[in-house]
Amino acid sequence: MKYVGLDAKDKIIRRFAEYVNPGKVETFQSYDMQFVFGRREGPYVWDAQTGKRLINCHCNGGVFNFGHRNPKIVQALRESLDELDIGNHHLISEQRGLLAEKLSSLMPGDIDCTVFGVGGGEAIDLAIKLARGYTGKFKIISARGGYHGHTGFALATGDEQYRAPFGANLPGFVQIPFNDIDALGIALDNKTAAVIFETIPATLGMPLPDPDYYKKVAEICRRVGALLIIDEVQTGLGRTGKLWGIQNYDTVPDIIVIGKGLSGGIYPMSATCFRRQYMDFFRQNPFIHISTFGGAEVGCPVAAAVLEESSKPEFLRNVDNLATIFAEAFTELKKKHPRILVGLRQLGLMMGIEMVNENCGPLLTKSCYDHGILAIYANNDKRVCQLLPPLIIDRQVAGEIIFGVDAALKDTADFLGLK
């Protein structure tokens, strides 16, 4: 059965506009970026009709850490399909138990328990419900400019632009500046159930926190009995050179949320992982949270394969080696493009290209596309263009990315007339 390129590109686009989302089509047409995912393999994707090739440096925020259709991950799903299906979320599950045990062995500190979901927003919602249910408190503190999802409580933690069309925000949610320990100290009180931060806020343009920031956050939370929730949906699974981004800050939170990359780009999977003491809430309320497709049994071997590969020392060393290549290259690019490039915000391969003004991010996105790189600007800081290549690339592909970004920076600076 053939699935890619069944129809002419114009027909594919018209059908999507009519039945799925006309606004997206109009937006991409305005930028002349009507790319339709066709063949995909490793770090590359090709347009379904034109054959234009892109190196995927967006990766859906880390979904494709292993590239597209990674053979080991695909094989895990094929073998799983021989025996398993979705399963039943009400009943005891062998596969969920095995996957949760694997996560426990890889999590920092005493984070031992897991509840599975389908996507990151659902997992964030559960983390907030758990924090409120366990503590009996109500207030949730998050970072201004951060992003945790488009659903329910996850949406309530985010910026107004994402929730304003739907009415006033839910009560109890407070935002503060990221990496401002004094602001947190003022906002945090004995009514606070949890503080939730992305380890590195991607949509805010990947600002790096101070080295001791999370230690201080954890200490203040403990002081008032609030839980610290760390969103590792994008930074987890090796993106920063460590299995979990928070390990770079020598801090063990109370709850870690993972998603995106846990799917291997093949089967949707997310997880809310927490310290064993918080399981008391679920012991008292065993059916308080359900997710029909969360931790689907057929997907558990896929996630297990992702964890197995992501935790290998040689895999993480490759991320560190590639990070050095990009850091050195951007030092030279900054000298070459002083009109536009401020620098590279970087922890491992969690990278943001920081530029001189807010026009730069959208324009660099288009210029990168023209030069064969799929990279998307940070919506909450448009000076920054996110650069998230697959973690399995080699030096040659890294060189291709750097070459394309080099050309795109020049074109963007020229277009803006920067002096």
CATH of the domain at 279: 3.40.640.10
- Is the domain of 108 the same as that of 154? yes
Per-residue confidence (pLDDT) for residue 6, from 0 to 100: 86
Q: Average of pLDDT values for 387-393?
A: 98
With a CB cutoff of 8 Å and minimum separation 6, the contacts of 248 are: 199, 240, 241, 242, 347
Q: Average of pLDDT values for 289-307?
A: 96
- For 226-260, write each residue's pLDDT tens digit: 999 999 999 999 999 999 999 999 999 999 999 99
* Residue 13 covered by a domain: no
With a CB cutoff of 8 Å and minimum separation 6, the contacts of 258 are: 123, 232, 233, 236, 237, 270, 271, 273
Q: Average of pLDDT values for 294-321?
A: 98
Per-residue confidence (pLDDT) for residue 290, from 0 to 100: 87
Taking 90 as the threshold, does the pLDDT of residue 2 lie above it?
Answer: no
CATH code (residue 378): 3.90.1150.10
* Residue 8 covered by a domain: no
Residue 214 to residue 361: CA distance in whole angstroms: 29
Per-residue confidence (pLDDT) for residue 1, from 0 to 100: 67
Query: What is the percentage of the chain residues whose pLDDT exceeds 90?
Result: 92
Domain boundary pick from 310, 331, 364: 310
Residue 364 to residue 371: CA distance in whole angstroms: 10
Per-residue confidence (pLDDT) for residue 321, from 0 to 100: 98
What's the whole-model pTM score? 0.97
- Is the domain of 214 the same as that of 317? no
Taking 80 as the threshold, does the pLDDT of residue 212 lie above it?
Answer: yes
At residue 216 the predicted structure's pLDDT band, cuts being 50, 70 and 90, is: very high
Q: Give the count of domains, the chain.
A: 2
- Is the domain of 326 the same as that of 203? no
* Residue 368 covered by a domain: yes
Range of the domain at 178: 71-310
- For 118-135, write each residue's pLDDT tens digit: 999 999 999 999 999 999
Q: What rounded mean pLDDT belongs to the chain?
A: 96
Which tokens is 223 given? Answer: 């002081």
Residue 56 to residue 38: CA distance in whole angstroms: 13
